[in-house]
């Protein structure tokens, strides 16, 4: 057990935190699983429109490794396979029937789980559709089947703005979480590291088989990269795995109940929502089932995930495969007159160039406005202040822009993920898309290597 | 017709007309009047309200006290003792210089923006005002035009435009005038805005004396006392005279986080440190610059103006935090060395900063290599 204090970082003062209330959501009429949520993934769809599926029936598999399966979260009929640009498969949508009909998987008691081995746990997770919940670094892809991770990291805390708090939605799931940990122990010869916030950890206290750490400090203290960097830094050639605490509990549920665990909890957050709360629903549920009906898509942006690391979803969309937060923020509506001249009592900013910086602890309604045009890099020195790792953000980004793979690796690109640069992008006066640049760099290395 | 429609139509017409080279100027005006209003496509989906316009605007705000003091001081040094007439005189001298600087600068920016197919960069806002402030009030306007042209074309655009330039464009412009027309801008004499008046600068006075520097400063036609030099009641380049006004600007840059405190502090420490070493090694019998107390360097010549507004230019300065320390210290030390040991240039700030600019990529290179070595050592 170790305590870490992350000093560099920033909590974006965004209004609209979810209240700590858990309600049961209405049963979604549709649910979907989205290959687009998974990095560097090509699906092979196994069902067509009209096919009858149970909870846990295969919808699609990994083209390269067909053992990696994605299962239906509801029982019902496949509605459509949605394709995007260049016929890329975006999602498989299933119409939910009234009842739940489950595919059956093997069941184990806790003692039996403890006596399983690598092969048995892996095949149970592959068959039960939860293998993809384990991802690896570098690259954030689904855990490679033959890989041996030096450790598994679980972040039991979230520091991104408006993000669902794992300590809250993990309440009452300690037994399942514990069973999941027993299963994960077979998958690594190293340790399982669980990081929690210092004041929000009762859902995780006393769990057996993990090394528990606390991380204090602003975002991105809750990011896996930051925790790995502080606990057991990634060296060249090494890999680690990471998984969300909720998915650890789902592994426990799968192994104990023999059913694909299709329930999830998401926080619905956003500055202009009337009801901001945690909703218990089905994983991959349609957004309409958890958001207010009168929401106007033109005025509000619906995101699956947080404002930092989420993806565009829209009201017709679905909850993403890895997401526990649904964020709704106002869409930018108009061009403002002389925006650069305004005193800015209501304008959020990291630095001190607006009068809003005189008001402490104020939260702001922020919309999707980029608030400026893209310009050349200006080394303000602020990027380093929001990067709690020994990484030089500007130099790394420039190495990617000139596609110098050797230099990127030397500057530590394999230790990071695009989400770690979200704050750099947020505070950038030149409006540089750091996340996009880092993603490009990682993709380049994967292709060349 | 809304303002947006008006500009859209104007941009269309201009881009098809013979004056299409100035379309970027219209675009720039448009984007100054109205925020772009573009929405995020990917995370982070919310963005900070700061952009480069705000960033540069804050620098201009920080320069306002300097500009105000400068306007007043131009009138005073021209021998006008009453307040408003002095201000009027100052405006008559300074406004044309600023207008020429911005107009000629904008001309070149527009042409390069058109060639490169991007928008005019806001850096001009700062360059266009910094450059006039480094000039004496008697500067001929045609020299202002030539200077800013050189600064923008050679100092910035040949490197690929804003963000790519090695040297501070405003200082490049000044350096060009300094070496091409030394009769109008040299560092050892200054002019007030009246015909035929010129006098030795404090630095030239201190360098030329055979006796104690402080005594020489007080003995000439001007009373170069420390306080007078701090307040700015002395002739000099338009923006450099009042250390007090510069410090107010520094406070604005530091509070808003726009200016790097590391660079400012490092330059100050480098300068004070070097000056102290020389002063104490030289001992009490020293003469000339050797006998100048370290604190005098801060209020003389362009030291503070350069420290606050020129070294901190984020593009030509070192980009890494460690690099900023080294860069600042290097400049501070260089100024004092040039001032003390190079009799040809009693003012050393401009050359020291340009020197620092040239070395900043090298400094950053070593900092980056150190980062790489730390990572390798970890492996």
* pLDDT value at residue B110: 85
Using the 8-state DSSP alphabet, how is residue A336 labeled?
P
A and B: number of Cβ contacts within 8 A: 212
C-alpha to C-alpha distance for A103 and A129, rounded to whole angstroms:
11
- Say if residue B101 is in the same domain as residue B209: yes
Residue of B40, B254, B263 for testing the chain A interface, max A β-carbons within 10 Å: B40
* pLDDT value at residue B312: 93
Q: Return the closest-CA partner of residue B132 out of B148, B152, B114, B108.
A: B148
- Say if residue B281 is in the same domain as residue B323: yes
**Are A339 and B39 a contacting pair at CB < 8 A?**
no
Using the 8-state DSSP alphabet, how is residue A315 labeled?
T
Measured in angstroms, the CA of B156 and the nearest CA of chain A are apart by 13
* pLDDT value at residue B352: 94
In a domain, B42, yes or no: no
C-alpha to C-alpha distance for B222 and B200, rounded to whole angstroms:
9
- Say if residue B26 is in the same domain as residue B63: no
* pLDDT value at residue A335: 81
**Are A379 and B121 a contacting pair at CB < 8 A?**
no
* pLDDT value at residue B9: 79
In a domain, B38, yes or no: no
**How would DSSP label each residue in B201-266?**
-HHHHHHH-SS-HHHHHHHSSS---HHHHHHT-S--STTTS-HHHHHHHHHHHHHTT-S-HHHHHH
In a domain, B36, yes or no: no
Sign of torsion, CA B72 B73 B78 B80? positive
Report whether pLDDT(B22) > 90: no
Report whether pLDDT(B108) > 70: yes
Band (pLDDT 50/70/90 cuts) for residue B162 is confident
Report chain A's terminal Cα–Cα distance, integer Å: 36
- Say if residue B12 is in the same domain as residue B157: no
- Say if residue B88 is in the same domain as residue B19: no
* pLDDT value at residue B188: 63
Measured in angstroms, the CA of B319 and the nearest CA of chain A are apart by 5
- Say if residue B24 is in the same domain as residue B134: no
- Say if residue B26 is in the same domain as residue B115: no
- Say if residue B24 is in the same domain as residue B101: no
Report whether pLDDT(B211) > 90: no
- Say if residue B147 is in the same domain as residue B292: yes
* pLDDT value at residue B190: 67
Instruction: Encode pLDDT of B250-305 as tens digits.
Output: 999 999 989 999 999 999 999 999 999 999 988 877 777 888 888 888 888 889 99
User: Which of A263-277, B81-95, B214-228, B349-363 shows the lowest per-residue confidence on average (mean pLDDT)?
Assistant: B214-228
* Backbone angles phi and psi of A59, in degrees to 5: -100, -50
- Give the tokens for residue B232: 């700015």
C-alpha to C-alpha distance for A78 and B344, rounded to whole angstroms:
85
* pLDDT value at residue B76: 86
- Say if residue B260 is in the same domain as residue B160: yes
Give Cβ neighbours of residue A215 (< 8 Å, ≥ 6 apart): A4, A5, A6, A157, A195, A196, A197, A198, A221, A222, A226, A227, A230
Give, for A25, the enclosing helix (H) or strand (E): none
Average pLDDT over residues B61-66: 95
Number of domains within chain B: 2
* pLDDT value at residue A60: 96
- Give the tokens for residue A381: 């020195």
Residue of A309, A336, A340 for testing the chain B interface, max B β-carbons within 10 Å: A340
* pLDDT value at residue B267: 96
**Are B51 and A334 a contacting pair at CB < 8 A?**
no
In a domain, B332, yes or no: yes
Measured in angstroms, the CA of A320 and the nearest CA of chain B are apart by 14
Are B287 and B212 contacting, i.e. CB atoms less than 8 angstroms apart?
A: yes
**Are B45 and A307 a contacting pair at CB < 8 A?**
yes
Task: Please list the ranges in chain A whose pLDDT falls under 50.
Answer: none
In a domain, B191, yes or no: yes
Q: What is the mean pLDDT of chain B?
A: 87
Where do we find the tokens 């480094």?
B134
- Say if residue B19 is in the same domain as residue B112: no
Where do we find the tokens 């979260």?
A73
* pLDDT value at residue B378: 73
Find, in chain B, the residue whose alpha carbon is nearest to that of A435.
B43
Spell out which residues of chain A touch residue B43, defining contact as CB-CB under 8 Å: 303, 305-311, 419, 422, 435
Give, for A80, the enclosing helix (H) or strand (E): strand A76-83
**Domain assignment of residue B7, given as a range:** 3-30
pTM value is: 0.92
- Say if residue B220 is in the same domain as residue B339: yes
In a domain, B44, yes or no: no
Find, in chain A, the residue whose alpha carbon is nearest to that of B162.
A376
Model ipTM?
Answer: 0.93
**Are B50 and A429 a contacting pair at CB < 8 A?**
yes
Partners of A95 in beta bridges:
A30, A77
Spell out which residues of chain A touch residue B55, defining contact as CB-CB under 8 Å: 353, 378, 380, 429
C-alpha to C-alpha distance for B134 and B239, rounded to whole angstroms:
6
B/e letters for B234-243, b = 16+ CB within 10 Å, e = fewer, are: bbbbbbbbbb
C-alpha to C-alpha distance for A383 and A57, rounded to whole angstroms:
46
- Give the tokens for residue B172: 């490049």
Are A446 and A139 contacting, i.e. CB atoms less than 8 angstroms apart?
A: yes
Instruction: Encode pLDDT of B127-142 as tens digits.
Output: 999 999 999 888 889 9
């Amino acid at each position: 057990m170790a305590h870490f204090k992350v000093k560099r970082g920033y909590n974006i003062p965004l209004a609209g935190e979810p209240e700590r209330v858990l309600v049961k959501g209405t049963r979604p009429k549709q649910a979907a699983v989205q290959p687009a949520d998974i990095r560097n993934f090509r699906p092979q769809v196994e069902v067509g429109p009209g096919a009858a599926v149970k909870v846990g029936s295969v919808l699609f598999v990994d083209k390269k490794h067909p053992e990696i399966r994605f299962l239906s979260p509801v029982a019902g009929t496949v509605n459509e396979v949605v394709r995007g640009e260049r016929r890329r498969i975006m999602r498989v949508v299933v119409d939910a029937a009234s009842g739940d009909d489950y595919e059956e998987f093997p069941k184990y008691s806790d003692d039996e789980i403890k006596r399983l081995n690598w092969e048995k746990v892996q095949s149970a997770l592959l068959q039960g559709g939860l293998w993809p919940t384990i991802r690896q670094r570098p690259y954030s892809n689904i855990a490679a089947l033959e890989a041996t991770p030096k450790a598994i990291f679980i972040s039991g805390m979230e520091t991104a703005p408006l993000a669902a708090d794992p300590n809250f939605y993990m309440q009452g799931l300690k037994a399942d979480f514990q069973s999941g940990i027993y299963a994960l122990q077979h998958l690594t010869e190293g340790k399982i590291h669980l990081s929690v916030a210092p004041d929000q950890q009762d859902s995780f206290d006393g769990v057996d088989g993990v090394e528990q750490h606390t991380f204090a400090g602003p975002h991105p203290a809750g990011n896996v990269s930051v925790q790995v960097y502080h606990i057991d830094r990634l060296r060249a050639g090494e890999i680690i795995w990471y998984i969300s605490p909720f998915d650890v509990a789902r592994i426990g549920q799968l192994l104990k109940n023999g059913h694909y665990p299709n329930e999830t909890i998401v926080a619905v957050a956003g500055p202009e929502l009337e009801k901001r709360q945690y909703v218990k629903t089905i994983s991959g549920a349609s957004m309409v089932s958890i958001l207010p009906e009168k929401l106007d898509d033109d005025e509000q942006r619906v995101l699956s995930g947080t404002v930092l690391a989420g993806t565009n979803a829209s009201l017709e969309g679905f909850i993403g495969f890895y997401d526990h937060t649904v964020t709704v923020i106002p869409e930018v509506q108009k061009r403002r007159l002389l925006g650069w001249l305004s005193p800015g009592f209501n304008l959020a900013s990291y630095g001190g160039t607006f009068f809003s910086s005189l008001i402490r602890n104020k939260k702001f309604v922020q919309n999707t406005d980029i608030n400026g045009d893209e310009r050349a890099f200006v080394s303000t020195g602020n990027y380093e202040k929001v990067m709690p790792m020994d990484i030089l953000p500007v130099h790394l980004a420039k190495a990617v822009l000139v596609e110098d793979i050797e230099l990127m690796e030397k500057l530590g690109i394999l230790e990071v993920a695009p989400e770690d640069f979200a704050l750099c992008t947020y505070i950038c006066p030149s409006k540089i898309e750091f996340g996009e640049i880092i993603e490009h760099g990682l993709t380049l290395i994967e292709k060349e290597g | 017709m809304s303002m947006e429609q008006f500009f859209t139509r104007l941009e269309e017409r201009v881009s098809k007309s013979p004056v299409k080279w100035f379309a970027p100027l219209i675009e720039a005006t448009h984007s100054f009047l109205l925020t772009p209003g573009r929405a995020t496509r990917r995370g982070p989906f919310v963005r900070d309200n700061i952009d480069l316009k705000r960033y540069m605007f804050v620098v201009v705000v920080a320069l306002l006290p300097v500009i105000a003091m400068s306007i007043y001081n131009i009138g005073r040094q021209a021998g006008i003792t009453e307040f408003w007439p002095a201000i009027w005189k100052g405006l008559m001298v300074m406004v044309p210089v600023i207008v020429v600087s911005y107009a000629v600068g904008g001309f070149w920016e527009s042409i390069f923006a058109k060639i490169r197919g991007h928008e005019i960069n806001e850096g001009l806002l700062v360059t266009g005002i910094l450059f006039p402030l480094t000039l004496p009030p008697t500067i001929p306007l045609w020299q202002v035009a030539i200077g800013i042209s050189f600064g923008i074309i050679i100092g910035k655009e040949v490197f690929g435009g804003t963000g790519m330039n090695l040297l501070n464009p405003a200082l490049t412009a000044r350096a060009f005038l300094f070496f091409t027309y030394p009769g109008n801008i040299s560092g050892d004499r200054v002019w007030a805005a009246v015909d035929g008046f010129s006098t030795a600068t404090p630095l030239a006075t201190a360098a030329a004396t055979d006796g104690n520097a402080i005594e020489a400063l007080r003995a000439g036609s001007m009373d170069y006392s420390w306080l007078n030099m701090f307040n700015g009641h002395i002739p000099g380049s338009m923006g450099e005279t009042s250390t007090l006004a510069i410090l107010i600007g520094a406070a604005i840059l530091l509070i808003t986080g726009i200016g790097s405190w590391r660079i400012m502090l490092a330059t100050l420490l480098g300068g004070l440190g070097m000056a102290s070493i020389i002063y104490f090694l030289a001992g009490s019998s020293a003469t000339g610059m050797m006998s100048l107390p370290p604190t005098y360097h801060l209020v003389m010549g362009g030291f503070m103006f350069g420290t606050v507004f020129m070294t901190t230019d984020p593009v030509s300065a070192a980009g890494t935090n460690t690099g900023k320390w080294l860069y600042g210290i290097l400049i501070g030390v260089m100024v004092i060395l040039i001032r003390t040991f190079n009799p040809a240039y009693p003012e050393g700030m401009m050359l020291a900063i340009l020197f620092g600019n040239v070395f900043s990529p090298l400094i950053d290179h070593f900092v980056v290599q150190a980062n790489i070595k730390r990572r390798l050592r970890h492996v």
